[in-house]
Amino acid sequence: MNPDKHLHILYLPRWYPSKQDPMFGLFVKKHALAAVKAGYRVSVAFAVPASKLPGGRKYSISVKQDGAFTETIAEYLNAGGPVSQWRQAVAWSKAIQSSVRQSGRPELIHAHILTRTAVIAALLSFLWRIPYLITEHWSRYYPENLQYKGWLRKTVTRMLIKRAGSVSVVSERLATAMHRQGLRFNPELLPNVVDTTLFQPVTGIIDPKKIISVTCFEERSKNLKMLIDAFALILKEMPDARLVLVGEGADLEETRTYINGKNFQPGAVRFTGMLQDEALATEIRTSACLALSSNYETFGIVAFEAMACGIPVVATDVADLKTFIGNDFGKIVSPGDIQGFAAALLELLNHPEQYNRKKMTVAVMQKFGEKAISDKLDMLYQSVLNKRRHGGEQR
């Protein structure tokens, strides 16, 4: 075993699951668990706002340890404005201090999602004389969702990237978008983890007319109205087709209203609410296909979860899905192309035999399963540590 495998890595995520939202930033937790799988000790420190805390407190710390994996989550009472900004800073400090008391100082810091977490990572890197690396997941660099603004933010981000031991991204398209925003770095590709022990084919009945969508109901990015318009066209050719919408989100009621305006037959569209773990996997496994109608994505995890189950995908051309799906695992359509999306879904529903379900399952496991990402993280960490050990310049 590599002698560095006992080393301690501190994760600093901007998004992370908590009791406020158990799905928020779940992909970061899966990266952390994959690092544990590679043999590292991993501690996560995270600060999250709360609308209410017991006993009138302003802060609350919770620590959860499972073997080599420790989570420290600091909640702070959200009062809005500058007060909450100050409390957020205090909560981050409390989370990190508690993490160090619990697990000791780390040898490496892994910041997820720019820019705030990388600022903290850079400060700790300077104080503790250890390297840090960055993984970006955020879509804010895309022209369709341009939130990467402001001279100060851009200046600080460039500085943080330059000083990082490594900068990784979850897709090539995200790296390209960041480069177009003037960020100069040699990207490492670090995909999200697909839980192939949960999302896998099972022997059972597949509903040949069931289309599933798993989404956060945020219209700007997910473009559910396009999916609904395409489904209306499908019903003209296939009246017994059904659409299942899984998830929750800010625009859920807007989506319901839009569907009601279509006057579909009862039972044509079904809302399940939020589903997790086996309930979600079962809903996907029994579908004929998954539809992803997004305007933009950085990874598109639900598409890979479906393909891990042997379920083909019709998706818009977002993230790196086109490269992986090709013609073997589904179909890719230009964002906003309602007619093309409907035609692709109809072809898949009418000719499911053209897709090799076993082949797509194996392909997802080999490229995005926990073992594959665990190996990538190991190589990434060893590269940063070796660079530091031999006196190499950080990027």
Q: What is the H or E stretch that residue 167 is in? A: strand 167-169
Q: What is the pLDDT of residue 2?
A: 46
Same domain assignment for residues 217 and 135: no
Same domain assignment for residues 362 and 378: no
Query: Cβ distance 126 to 85 under 8 Å?
Result: no
In a domain, 200, yes or no: no
Question: Based on the structure, what is the number of domains in the chain?
Answer: 2
Q: What is the pLDDT of residue 22?
A: 86
Q: How far apart, in whole angstroms, are the C-alpha atoms of residue 147 and residue 296?
A: 13
Residue type, 327: N
In a domain, 260, yes or no: yes
Contacts of 246 by beta carbon, 8 Å cutoff, 6+ apart: 212, 213, 214, 215, 272, 273, 274, 275, 280, 283
Same domain assignment for residues 221 and 181: no
Query: How many CB atoms lie under 10 A from the CB of residue 207?
Result: 12
Using left for φ > 0, alpha for ψ between -120 and 50, and beta otherwise, residue 84 falls in: alpha
Q: What pTM did the predictor assign?
A: 0.93
In a domain, 51, yes or no: yes
Q: What is the pLDDT of residue 134?
A: 98
Given strand 289-292, what is the order of strands in its sheet? 269-273, 242-246, 210-214, 289-292, 313-316, 330-333
Same domain assignment for residues 326 and 379: no
Same domain assignment for residues 350 and 382: no
Query: Cβ distance 194 to 284 under 8 Å?
Result: no
Give the CATH number, domain containing residue 233: 3.40.50.2000
Q: What is the pLDDT of residue 97?
A: 97
Q: How far apart, in whole angstroms, are the C-alpha atoms of residue 36 and residue 41?
A: 6
Query: How many CB atoms lie under 10 A from the CB of residue 275?
Result: 17
Same domain assignment for residues 234 and 135: no
Burial of 167 (0-12, 13-18, 19+ CB in 10 A): buried
Same domain assignment for residues 232 and 105: no
pLDDT per 10-residue tile (average), the chain, 395 residues: 71 94 92 97 97 90 96 94 94 97 96 97 97 97 92 96 97 97 96 96 86 96 97 97 96 96 95 95 96 97 97 97 94 96 97 91 97 97 86 48
Same domain assignment for residues 215 and 168: no
Same domain assignment for residues 282 and 380: no
Q: What is the pLDDT of residue 49?
A: 95
Same domain assignment for residues 173 and 224: no
In a domain, 113, yes or no: yes
pLDDT tens-place string over residues 226-238: 999 999 999 999 9
Which residue range(s) make up the domain with 163?
3-193+370-389
Same domain assignment for residues 360 and 379: no
In a domain, 127, yes or no: yes
Query: Cβ distance 269 to 16 under 8 Å?
Result: no
Q: How far apart, in whole angstroms, are the C-alpha atoms of residue 335 and residue 332?
A: 9
Q: What is the pLDDT of residue 168?
A: 98
Same domain assignment for residues 235 and 381: no
Q: How far apart, in whole angstroms, are the C-alpha atoms of residue 267 and residue 282?
A: 19
